A and B are shown apart, each in its own frame.
Chain A
Amino acid sequence: MKHAAHTALGALAALCTVGISVPAIAAWEPVRPVEFIVPAGTGGGADQMARTIQGIVTKHSLMKQPLVVINKSGGAGGEGFLDLKGSGGNPHKIIITLSNLFTTPLATGIPFNWKDLTPVTMLALDEFVLWVNAEKPYKTAKEYIDAVKAAPAGSMKMGGTGSKQEDQIITVAVEKATGSKFTYIPYKGGGEVAVQLVGNHVDSTVNNPIEAVAQWRGGKLRPLCVFDAQPMSYDEQVADGKSWKDIPTCKSQGLDMEYLMLRGIFMSPRATKDQIEYYVELFKKVRATPEWQDFMKSGAFNTTSLTGAEYAKWVEVEEKRHEALMKDAGFLAAAGN
């Protein structure tokens, strides 16, 4: 009886809130299922994040319409970006991005720029860590880089995900910063890269934490340094009595290179303010759930989040930086493409 009264009261309260708030924000809401495009294959980092969000939205009933994850990975994600670019004025399409937002158009010359889309929110930034096989003697980034320099140029192999994308950009930047020379070997996915390192088929990788954590805990891999300005903030013990926080920054090891990967949301061109506002609020709610916190912790993500003009500005700076990095590395698509 008490329970019923409580529910009735709750319903009344909800009614009041709805009654007051609806006219106030003149809210836009999706009227059809929303397509959540992943410009990468199934099982990768972006895909895992998108499916986690889908799970959270479903579990906490954060949307009235279903959120449907669709992978459009063709042409290093170009397929997904072009699809969104061509859906101007359709607010029922959003996309989760990774660094290929910048690298794919720069490297392949497909007719796309992030300014074609509407920025919604940054969800988090993904860290990059320099890993070696735990059987190897290198305990610090300096020891490893010295060994690379001592070996004949190109005889040390760096494994990474994709070609002319973030992993290879970092590799080239490390070479420039230290005067060393790697042979970069591209693989399809981050998990595969980590396993190739465990099997000693490559000498080092720059895997994201989530891709390599299982092998670290299994005692197969050793993290040397993180490509960020500060150490990661997670101080819970992970392996060998060490936490993510104990991994030094590469800069402190004499390897002056920082790189973080955007995990952010964009929507189709010509979105109205109400529509952007709806998604900003939605992702705010997602980020407040315990499931999201757990996910951030398991992947040792940098939880910086930006929206609106700040977000657009951040993306613009990053675009310039990618252009410079890729130009240095000779990764830009031939002009006139």
Chain B
Amino acid sequence: MEELVNLFHGFAVALQPFNIMVMVLGIVLGVLIGVLPGLGGANGVAILLPLTFSMPPTSAIIMLSCIYWGALFGGAITSILFNIPGEPWSVATTFDGYPMAQQGKAGEALTAAFTSSFVGALFAVIMITLVAPLVASFALQFGPAEKFAVYFLAFCSFVGLSKEPPFKTIAAMMIGFALAAVGLDSITGQLRLTFGVTHLLNGFDFLIAVIGLFGIGEILLTMEEGLAFRGGSAKINLRVVLQTWKELPKYWVTSIRSCVIGCWMGITPAGATPASFMSYGIAKRVSKNGSNFGKGEVEGVVAPETAAHAAGTAALLPMLSLGVPGSPTAAVLLGGLLIWGLQPGPMLFVEQKEFVWGLIASMYLGNLVGLIVVLTCVPVFAAILRVPFSIIAPLILVLCAIGAYSVHSSTFDVVLMLVFGVIGYLLKKCNYPLAPLVLAIVLGDKAEEAFRQSLLGSQGSLGIFFSNTLVSSIMILGLIALFWSVIQQGYTRLRAATA
């Protein structure tokens, strides 16, 4: 009950006119940041952080978290329209979002994405409101072994649940692992595979790879097909929004499943990216429209977007209650908290009630405001597709180049992006899936680190991955996911034999 009282007090704080103004401003800035590939939520928040130093801490965190929500919404826009994910967790949205846009259903795809994001975030905020104190102790159970188990589950569900030939998936994933290994080996402190090239010290940044593989690769493919940009017939009025809304409740099972996956992955320090991939993979396998996934299925947009947003929101909880940021953006927000003199940790909920509950209330309001802002803009975004390809393609190229450059302010990255573009084109031509490659670049080094930390702790024994109920159940789930097709086949045969 005390939580509810606190929450209402929080709403009173968040509803002050100045805070509402800050909220709208934050959302608009966030959407802009999300639309520009490469700029990303973390960079955006870092750049705008100094703006907030003169504000009271509560207004400042409201503004920054609204930039974060805005960026989460905005990331979906370029994924759907141009096949260029702005953030790691938007990659899975491209799988069905972009085909929908090509079929002239950009409006539907955008509406579905935005609405699902809102549903995911709302679910996560309600969870935060109700179980904040309990969740903190759950997250503490996650040592390196448990973390590795979560990554293992993400990889396995991708291999086992994908409709692509498993060996092509594994091959693509291995290329991703190899790329992820470049740079500093964080366990031994040695440089690996850099060949003395200074630019490679930092390894391959995920964003550069993705902008190249998806964005540039797609432009090359489209050029080959004769400069036709499909999707020009997109309906561009607000009726589309209402029509899509009528359809969405059909996917309630997917929504709830994705919400749960998202929250779980957000609280465990795995984050939004594995959440969106896992949610997409499972939806593809479980849904009765599963075979249409990848060809422009609304459900294929709903699943990853809901999970990503739920995870992105839930990730703020470990940051506030433990001081461990669940995402790069959360890490920058954490820096902000310290500058305002707030020490994240178990005492924050006790000592800074007004701040914490003001923030939680602003999550409700910020997401609502965000939904309204982006939905009213759907026709505008969809109209972009009417611009002829010969005009829009150079613009996208420029946008990609700016995005790649802004990640590390380095021209080398722009060249790298073009190289990835060619690789992406070739892989697509040979029918290798790109998603597992990207998943491995994003999570590869984290998984490796967790794996080796676990083995250091257990002095080399693999038994650590089955040493308690939590870690063994996640590992077993992973193994089931990996061999799912085999299990299913065996089951069918067994039934046939007994019948």
Q: Which residues of A contact B (CB under 8 A)?
A: 41-43, 47-48, 51-52, 54-55, 58-59, 69-70, 72-76, 78-79, 82, 107-108, 110, 154-155, 157, 162-165, 183-188, 191-192, 194-196, 198-199, 201-202, 210, 213-215, 217-220, 294, 298, 331, 333
Q: Are A183 and B345 in contact (CB under 8 A)?
A: no
CB contacts (< 8 Å) of A183 on chain B: these are 456-457, 459
**In the complex, what's the smallest C-beta–C-beta distance from B411 to chain A, in angstroms?**
13
B322 — nearest CB in chain A belongs to which residue?
Answer: A195
CB contacts (< 8 Å) of B144 on chain A: these are 185, 201
**Choice from A55, A76, A154 contacting B53 with Cβ under 8 Å:** A55
Is there a chain A Cβ closer than 8 Å to B492's Cβ?
no
Q: Are A163 and B141 in contact (CB under 8 A)?
A: no
B50 — nearest CB in chain A belongs to which residue?
Answer: A58
Known: A59-B53, A196-B143. Contact between A186 and B341, CB under 8 A? no
Known: A42-B331, A199-B140. Contact between A214 and B323, CB under 8 A? yes
Q: What are the 10 tightest A-B residue pairs by CB atom distance, in nearest-first order?
A: A214-B345, A74-B202, A75-B201, A218-B346, A201-B143, A163-B189, A43-B331, A164-B189, A74-B201, A199-B140
Is there a chain A Cβ closer than 8 Å to B498's Cβ?
no
Q: Are B323 and A199 in contact (CB under 8 A)?
A: no
**In the complex, what's the smallest C-beta–C-beta distance from A56 to chain B, in angstroms?**
9
Give the docked Cα–Cα distance between A195 and B408 (Å): 30
CB contacts (< 8 Å) of A58 on chain B: these are 50, 53
**In the complex, what's the smallest C-beta–C-beta distance from A200 to chain B, in angstroms?**
8
Give the docked Cα–Cα distance between A218 and B336 (Å): 21
Interface residues of B in 326-350 (CB under 8 A from A): 328, 331-332, 334-336, 338-339, 341, 343-348
Q: A59-B53, A75-B201, A213-B345 are in contact. List 13 more A-B contacts (CB 8 A).
A: A42-B335, A43-B335, A75-B191, A76-B184, A78-B198, A79-B198, A108-B190, A163-B187, A195-B324, A214-B343, A214-B346, A218-B346, A331-B189
**In the complex, what's the smallest C-beta–C-beta distance from B149 to chain A, in angstroms?**
14
B142 — nearest CB in chain A belongs to which residue?
Answer: A199
Q: Which residues of B contact A (CB under 8 A)?
A: 42, 46, 49-50, 53-54, 140-144, 183-191, 194, 198, 201-203, 322-325, 328, 331-332, 334-336, 338-339, 341, 343-348, 408-409, 449, 453, 456-457, 459
**In the complex, what's the smallest C-beta–C-beta distance from A72 to chain B, in angstroms?**
7
Q: Are B198 and A73 in contact (CB under 8 A)?
A: no
Known: A185-B453, A199-B140, A214-B347. Contact between A191 and B323, CB under 8 A? yes
Q: Are B189 and A74 in contact (CB under 8 A)?
A: no
B47 — nearest CB in chain A belongs to which residue?
Answer: A68
CB contacts (< 8 Å) of A47 on chain B: these are 335
Give the docked Cα–Cα distance between A121 and B455 (Å): 42
Give the docked Cα–Cα distance between A298 and B143 (Å): 28
Known: A74-B203, A78-B201, A79-B201. Contact between A213 and B50, CB under 8 A? no
Give the docked Cα–Cα distance between A184 and B457 (Å): 8
A104 — nearest CB in chain B belongs to which residue?
Answer: B189
**In the complex, what's the smallest C-beta–C-beta distance from B9 to chain A, in angstroms?**
23
Known: A185-B456, A217-B343. Contact between A54 and B187, CB under 8 A? no
**In the complex, what's the smallest C-beta–C-beta distance from A67 to chain B, in angstroms?**
9
A-B pairs with beta carbons under 8 Å apart, 16 shown: A42-B42, A72-B408, A74-B201, A82-B198, A82-B201, A108-B190, A110-B191, A165-B189, A186-B189, A194-B323, A196-B143, A199-B142, A214-B348, A217-B343, A218-B345, A333-B190
CB contacts (< 8 Å) of A59 on chain B: these are 53-54
Give the docked Cα–Cα distance between A107 and B328 (Å): 27
Which of B46, B322, B459: most chain A Cβ within 10 A?
B322
Q: Are B140 and A75 in contact (CB under 8 A)?
A: no
**In the complex, what's the smallest C-beta–C-beta distance from B182 to chain A, in angstroms?**
10
Known: A47-B335, A187-B453. Contact between A74 and B184, CB under 8 A? yes
**Choice from A51, A186, A191 contacting B339 with Cβ under 8 Å:** A51
Give the docked Cα–Cα distance between A219 and B459 (Å): 30
Q: Are B343 and A298 in contact (CB under 8 A)?
A: yes
Q: Are A186 and B186 in contact (CB under 8 A)?
A: yes
A334 — nearest CB in chain B belongs to which residue?
Answer: B190
CB contacts (< 8 Å) of B323 on chain A: these are 191, 194-195, 214-215
**In the complex, what's the smallest C-beta–C-beta distance from A216 to chain B, in angstroms?**
9
Q: Are A55 and B345 in contact (CB under 8 A)?
A: no
Q: Are B183 and A75 in contact (CB under 8 A)?
A: yes
B203 — nearest CB in chain A belongs to which residue?
Answer: A74
Give the docked Cα–Cα distance between A82 and B338 (Å): 29
CB contacts (< 8 Å) of A184 on chain B: these are 456
Known: A201-B143, A214-B346. Contact between A43 and B188, CB under 8 A? no
A199 — nearest CB in chain B belongs to which residue?
Answer: B140
Known: A47-B335, A214-B344. Contact between A79 and B457, CB under 8 A? no
**In the complex, what's the smallest C-beta–C-beta distance from A245 to chain B, in angstroms?**
19
**In the complex, what's the smallest C-beta–C-beta distance from B361 to chain A, in angstroms?**
23
CB contacts (< 8 Å) of A76 on chain B: these are 184, 189
**In the complex, what's the smallest C-beta–C-beta distance from A123 to chain B, in angstroms?**
16
**In the complex, what's the smallest C-beta–C-beta distance from A85 to chain B, in angstroms?**
10
**Choice from B184, B325, B347 contacting A217 with Cβ under 8 Å:** B347
Q: Are B186 and A42 in contact (CB under 8 A)?
A: no
**In the complex, what's the smallest C-beta–C-beta distance from B275 to chain A, in angstroms?**
20
Give the docked Cα–Cα distance between A74 and B50 (Å): 24
CB contacts (< 8 Å) of A213 on chain B: these are 343, 345
Q: Are A162 and B201 in contact (CB under 8 A)?
A: no
CB contacts (< 8 Å) of A52 on chain B: these are 338-339
Known: A198-B140, A217-B343. Contact between A164 and B188, CB under 8 A? yes
CB contacts (< 8 Å) of A194 on chain B: these are 323
**In the complex, what's the smallest C-beta–C-beta distance from A265 to chain B, in angstroms?**
19
B143 — nearest CB in chain A belongs to which residue?
Answer: A201
B408 — nearest CB in chain A belongs to which residue?
Answer: A72
Q: Are A188 and B186 in contact (CB under 8 A)?
A: yes
Q: Are A192 and B324 in contact (CB under 8 A)?
A: yes
**Choice from B50, B142, B347 contacting A55 with Cβ under 8 Å:** B50
B45 — nearest CB in chain A belongs to which residue?
Answer: A42
CB contacts (< 8 Å) of B190 on chain A: these are 107-108, 333
Q: Are B332 and A201 in contact (CB under 8 A)?
A: no
Known: A59-B53, A214-B343. Contact between A199 and B189, CB under 8 A? no
Give the docked Cα–Cα distance between A220 and B49 (Å): 31
Q: Are B325 and A218 in contact (CB under 8 A)?
A: no
Q: Are A54 and B188 in contact (CB under 8 A)?
A: no
B449 — nearest CB in chain A belongs to which residue?
Answer: A188
Give the docked Cα–Cα distance between A87 and B48 (Å): 27
Give the docked Cα–Cα distance between A186 and B187 (Å): 6
**In the complex, what's the smallest C-beta–C-beta distance from A269 to chain B, in angstroms?**
16
Q: Are A42 and B453 in contact (CB under 8 A)?
A: no
CB contacts (< 8 Å) of A187 on chain B: these are 453
Give the docked Cα–Cα distance between A54 and B54 (Å): 13
Q: Are A218 and B457 in contact (CB under 8 A)?
A: no
**In the complex, what's the smallest C-beta–C-beta distance from B453 to chain A, in angstroms?**
5
CB contacts (< 8 Å) of B188 on chain A: these are 163-164
CB contacts (< 8 Å) of A165 on chain B: these are 189
Q: Are A195 and B140 in contact (CB under 8 A)?
A: yes
Q: Are B457 and A157 in contact (CB under 8 A)?
A: yes
Known: A79-B201, A164-B189, A192-B324. Contact between A154 and B339, CB under 8 A? no
Give the docked Cα–Cα distance between A70 and B188 (Å): 26
**In the complex, what's the smallest C-beta–C-beta distance from B181 to chain A, in angstroms?**
14
CB contacts (< 8 Å) of B348 on chain A: these are 214
CB contacts (< 8 Å) of A164 on chain B: these are 188-189
Give the docked Cα–Cα distance between A192 and B446 (Å): 14
**Choice from B322, B332, B338 contacting A42 with Cβ under 8 Å:** B332
Q: Are A154 and B459 in contact (CB under 8 A)?
A: yes
CB contacts (< 8 Å) of A42 on chain B: these are 42, 46, 328, 331-332, 335
